[in-house]
Amino acid sequence: MEQLIIPAIIAIVVAFFSVYGLTPLVIRALEKRKITVIDANKKEKPMIPRPGGLSIIIGIESSLIILYAFFPISEILAVILTTIFAFIVGLIDDRKTMGGWFKPLALAFCAAPILLLGAYDSNLDFPLFGSVSIPLLYMALVVFMIPIMGNTINSIDVLNGVASGFTTIASFALSICLFILGNYEIGIVCLSLAFSSLAFYKYHKFPSRIFPGDSGSVMFGATYGVIAIVGGVEVIAAIAILPAIINSFLFLSSVKKIVEHRQLKNSTAHTPDWKLKSTLEKHAPITLVRLLIAQKPLSEKQIATEIFKLAIFSGILGIITAFFMGVELA
């Protein structure tokens, strides 16, 4: 246990301060090149730099490479490669909005390192019911899980600070779960994701100075997903991001097709004081945000706070689940 402390500290420091230090440079570079988008939920309609995925990928990858130097295991290498591939997929989508099927299919290929390196356990662990061995079915689950997780975080990236803040909360919760279950190396890997997203949140929170774009939000989700797979905590990871999964389910069930959310009509409108209210447009998709403002309009900051409360609750549920699974294993 003691031999893990120094690598953990180094990885966390590198992950946090790389993103914290590089993001202002990325902001200035994007502003200089006028690579910006309108922040539609502000009365002034400010132009915000996007994407911010570059600083995030440098922070996460630097941290993971350091961890791999200390612990040269296939699981960490799988996280390194899958994260890079997911960043590239997101960056392509940032440069040119692709069709609805592009990201799911491209992210499915991002799962290749997990399968090729054998960085998974085909036993799926459930609380109370124990472990189920599904070798062939599990390989299909791996291929599907990366697109699902990547698009789940991407689809909740609609308000200032939500994607990075949500990822931070979920990743810290999942780290605790991994430590409870004795998977310390992957727990530290998850902390790298948590501290990278926390550092980016400093600039992404309301009012945002930069947006992560797909290269950031898709990468957040895909990295979270690969950590869940190599850590053998798939069910716990899903519980910890349940609000985001519910949001994706509501979105898909209402639009009834795979489509890029930026191409759809907005599900919200604005009051005279620029709070968000649910739109009367009957074809607008149903989302978690739309449910939160169904009864009364809320400010962007208030909605983000409510989403974070749900994330904390789900994270606690995940930790409780991990505790009971740990007791069963003991």
CA distance 145 to 147: 6
Query: Over the stretch 175-210, which tens digit does the pLDDT of each residue have?
Result: 999 999 999 999 999 999 999 999 999 999 999 999
**283 found inside a domain:** no
Query: Over the stretch 18-76, which tens digit does the pLDDT of each residue have?
Result: 999 999 999 999 999 999 999 999 999 999 999 999 999 999 999 999 999 999 999 99
Band (pLDDT 50/70/90 cuts) for residue 255 is confident
- Provide the pLDDT for residue 258: 60
For residue 330, the number of C-alpha atoms closer than 13 Å in the C-beta half-sphere is 9
CA distance 208 to 164: 11
Domain count, the chain: 1
Instruction: Inform me whether the pLDDT recorded for 314 exceeds 80.
Output: yes
**Bridge partner list, 123:** 133
**285 found inside a domain:** no
Instruction: Inform me whether the pLDDT recorded for 317 exceeds 90.
Output: yes
- Provide the pLDDT for residue 53: 96
CA distance 168 to 6: 22
CA distance 35 to 43: 21
**230 found inside a domain:** yes
**290 found inside a domain:** no
Band (pLDDT 50/70/90 cuts) for residue 279 is confident
Query: Over the stretch 127-179, which tens digit does the pLDDT of each residue have?
Result: 766 778 888 889 999 999 999 999 999 999 999 999 999 999 999 999 999 99
CA distance 235 to 251: 22
Cβ neighbours for 171, distance < 8 A, ≥ 6 positions apart: 190, 191, 193, 194, 197, 224
**280 found inside a domain:** no
For residue 57, the number of C-alpha atoms closer than 13 Å in the C-beta half-sphere is 26
* First vs last C-alpha separation in the chain: 18
Instruction: Inform me whether the pLDDT recorded for 265 exceeds 60.
Output: no
- Provide the pLDDT for residue 325: 85
Q: What is the span of the domain harbouring residue 148?
A: 2-257+300-329
**24 found inside a domain:** yes
